[in-house]
Amino acid sequence: MQILNLTLEESAEKLYLKIANAIRQAIKNGNASTGEKLPSARTLAAQLSVNRHTVMSAYHELEAQGWVETKERQGYSVAQTLPIYLSLKSNENLNDVSNKHQWRLVKTENNNLQRQASDYQFNFAGGNPDISLFPFNEFRSYVNEAMSRPQINELNYGNNNGFPAFITEVSTYLRRVRAIANKEIIVVNGSQEALYIISQILLKAGDKVAVESLGYRPAWNALKNAGAELIGVKQTKEGIDVEHLEQLFKQHKLRLLYLTPLHQYPTTTTLPAAQRIKVYQLAQQYNVPIIEDDYDHEFHYDSQPLAPMAANDPAGRVIYLSSFSKIMFPGMRLGIIAVDQSLAAHIVNYRTMINHKANVVLQDAVARWMKDGAFERHLRKATRIYQKRRQCMVETLNSFIAEGIELDFTVPPGGMTLWVNVGGNAEEIAKSAQENNIFLLAEKAFHLESKNDENKFIRLGFAGQSEDQITQGLSRLKPFLNRKD
Ligand SMILES: Cc1ncc(COP(=O)(O)O)c(C=O)c1O
């Protein structure tokens, strides 16, 4: 140990005893633990601006009391066994609950932290990318480049919108692949941060926000945290029921609309172009902004994905969110907001209260990765693999249907999951699956209002596991599924 933070008491005691007391206190507090090496007398003397012999006297005193041990040429260390009566006393203090600080929590969330999906042998959680497909070696070279040629100015405080080269790459990509232009890009630490900031700056307590009645709970939590009252829009086989949305607009003063139009979360249906236009017109008529959460745009298999609503947004009312969590991996914590210039500065200013900016080194590396075309190469590869996995899951489930098992589903044109009607007992099936080391969720987990739970659907993610794992996991699940007869 080079440095031990010591506080010398103000007293008339001799200096070496004050130093001994301070070291003893540090040991009692656990700042230096049993057996740990202590700073040399020379180091401590320099730190405290005292004579080295004074520190040595302090150490000798502590040695005599049994707090410190010394070994030839190895210097001083905390005794392996501390003086028993004192250590008992300090443990008593620690264990005495009445001594501990009682927090006054004014905002708290029950996150129900259970076993994580990734801890299960088979993980059919919906939106999991297969992280093992990520080209770590290739990406490392871009991180190396970012570190070898750092842009010193950008690594400092300031410019909270995002790293310019990254914004350039993302803008080009959004314009070319998703037809989004005329929006300002802000880089965030994942879409969740964006949802939180937008909720905070656009909503007041009691404001009504329309959301999909089956939907994405983390987004709802961010909206509710800003005081929003959530109102569920019914869903059809094609995403949200636009007629119901129109009724809601008439009945309530809606302030915001949160949607996942491309691959509706959790059902993976795609809202058709005509319906999107109606939604946009309603938003226009009632002057309401739309958050468009396009979290897994690239993973579309049968055709080009529909251009986002943000691509056709003359009024600048669509707040477009995109994430690198599926393209790369969730731990990357990189996302973007594409938004009208009139809102951009407000988002950036608010974000500065939470965190100055997103990680610049990673933005730099990803910008280089994108510029080289390696990013799109990875996307093409992952999309090809996910498409085969979707096929594998569809074929396996179809073979179950042929064997008399009750299942019904529509093959989604994209996304990472199937939304499967098991005819009933969905919750029981999910529970039995989890007891057998298979993670999946039933529809109950996604309802805004539990009264709408028909207990019929389960969600099966196909992207995150190999074809072998998919077939093995599903065959282990088979005995828990309902039979038609
Ligand atoms: C609907 C939806 N939005 C956004 C995200 C991505 O969130 P983040 O970028 O915070 O990782 C996910 C990931 O599961 C999602 O399902």
Helix axes 41-48, 52-65, angle to 10 degrees: 120
CA atoms within 13 A on the CB side of 245: 27
Return the CATH number of the domain spanning residue range 117-128+378-480: 3.90.1150.10
Determine which residue's CA is closest to atom 3 belonging to ligand 1. 295
Residue 93: predicted pLDDT: 56
Apex CA 188: angle with CA 158 and CA 448, to 5°?
A: 145
Residue 127: predicted pLDDT: 83
Expressed in angstroms and rounded, the spacing between residue 194 Cα and the centre of ligand 1 is: 10
Is 161 a pocket residue for ligand 1 (Cβ < 6 Å)? no
Atom of ligand 1 nearest to the CA of 260: 1
Is 293 a pocket residue for ligand 1 (Cβ < 6 Å)? yes
Is 67 a pocket residue for ligand 1 (Cβ < 6 Å)? no
| Closest by Cα among 427, 418, 422, 461 to 447 | 427
Residue 285: predicted pLDDT: 98
User: What is d(CA 176, CA 311) in angstroms, rounded to the nearest whole number?
Assistant: 11
Q: Which of 187, 212, 216, 320 is the pocket-test mutation for ligand 1 (most atoms within 8 Å of CB)?
A: 216
Is 221 a pocket residue for ligand 1 (Cβ < 6 Å)? no
Residue whose structure tokens are 């879409």 = 191
Residue 89: predicted pLDDT: 53
Expressed in angstroms and rounded, the spacing between residue 269 Cα and the centre of ligand 1 is: 16
Residue 222: predicted pLDDT: 97
Q: Check if 15-95 and 136-372 are the same fold.
A: no
Residue 111: predicted pLDDT: 66
Determine which residue's CA is closest to atom 14 belonging to ligand 1. 127
Pairing state of beta strands 290-293 and 318-323?
A: parallel
User: What is d(CA 228, CA 209) in angstroms, rounded to the nearest whole number?
Assistant: 6
Return the CATH number of the domain spanning residue range 15-95: 1.10.10.10
Residue 102: predicted pLDDT: 87
Residue 142: predicted pLDDT: 98
Q: Which of 323, 329, 332, 448 is the pocket-test mutation for ligand 1 (most atoms within 8 Å of CB)?
A: 323
Residue 339: predicted pLDDT: 98
Residue 154: predicted pLDDT: 95
246 within 8 A of 282, measured Cβ to Cβ: yes
Please state the domain extents for the chain.
15-95, 117-128+378-480, 136-372
Tens-digit pLDDT profile for residues 274-317: 999 999 999 999 999 999 999 999 999 988 899 999 999 999 99
Is 190 a pocket residue for ligand 1 (Cβ < 6 Å)? yes
Residue 90: predicted pLDDT: 54
CB atoms within 10 A of CB 322: 29
Is 419 a pocket residue for ligand 1 (Cβ < 6 Å)? no
Atom of ligand 1 nearest to the CA of 190: 9
Pairing state of beta strands 235-236 and 239-240?
A: antiparallel
Is 126 a pocket residue for ligand 1 (Cβ < 6 Å)? no
Determine which residue's CA is closest to atom 2 belonging to ligand 1. 295
Atom of ligand 1 nearest to the CA of 325: 11
Class level of CATH domain 136-372: alpha beta
Residue 29: predicted pLDDT: 87
Expressed in angstroms and rounded, the spacing between residue 293 Cα and the centre of ligand 1 is: 8
Tens-digit pLDDT profile for residues 75-116: 999 999 888 555 555 555 555 666 788 889 888 776 665 678
What are the pLDDT tens digits along the chain (485 aa)?
778 999 899 888 999 999 999 999 999 888 888 999 999 999 999 999 999 999 999 999 999 999 999 988 889 999 998 885 555 555 555 556 667 888 898 887 766 656 788 899 999 998 889 999 999 999 999 999 999 999 999 999 999 999 999 999 999 999 999 999 999 999 999 999 999 999 999 999 999 999 999 999 999 999 999 999 999 999 999 899 999 999 999 999 999 999 999 999 999 999 999 999 999 999 999 999 999 999 999 999 988 899 999 999 999 999 999 999 999 999 999 999 999 999 999 999 999 999 999 999 999 999 999 999 999 999 999 999 999 999 999 999 999 999 999 999 999 999 999 999 999 999 999 999 999 999 999 999 999 999 999 999 999 999 999 999 999 999 999 999 999 87
Determine which residue's CA is closest to atom 12 belonging to ligand 1. 295
Could you write out the three-class secondary structure of the chain? CCCCCCCCCCCCCCHHHHHHHHHHHHHHCCCCCCCCECCCHHHHHHHHCCCHHHHHHHHHHHHHHCCEEEECCCEEEECCCCCHHHHHHHHHHHHCHHHCCCCCCCCCCCCCCCCCHHHCCEECCCCCCCHHHCCHHHHHHHHHHHHHCCCHHHHCCCCCCCCHHHHHHHHHHHHHHHCCCCCEEEEECCHHHHHHHHHHHHCCCCCEEEEECECCHHHHHHHHHCCCEEEEECEECCEECHHHHHHHHHHCCEEEEEECCCCCCCCCCCCCHHHHHHHHHHHHHHCCCEEEECCCCCCECCCCCCCCHHHHCCCCCEEEEEECCCCCCHHHCCEEEEECHHHHHHHHHHHHHHCCCCCHHHHHHHHHHHHCCHHHHHHHHHHHHHHHHHHHHHHHHHHHHHCCECCECCCCCECCEEEEECCCCHHHHHHHHHHCCEECEEHHHHECCHHHCCCCEEEEECCCCCHHHHHHHHHHHHHHCCECC
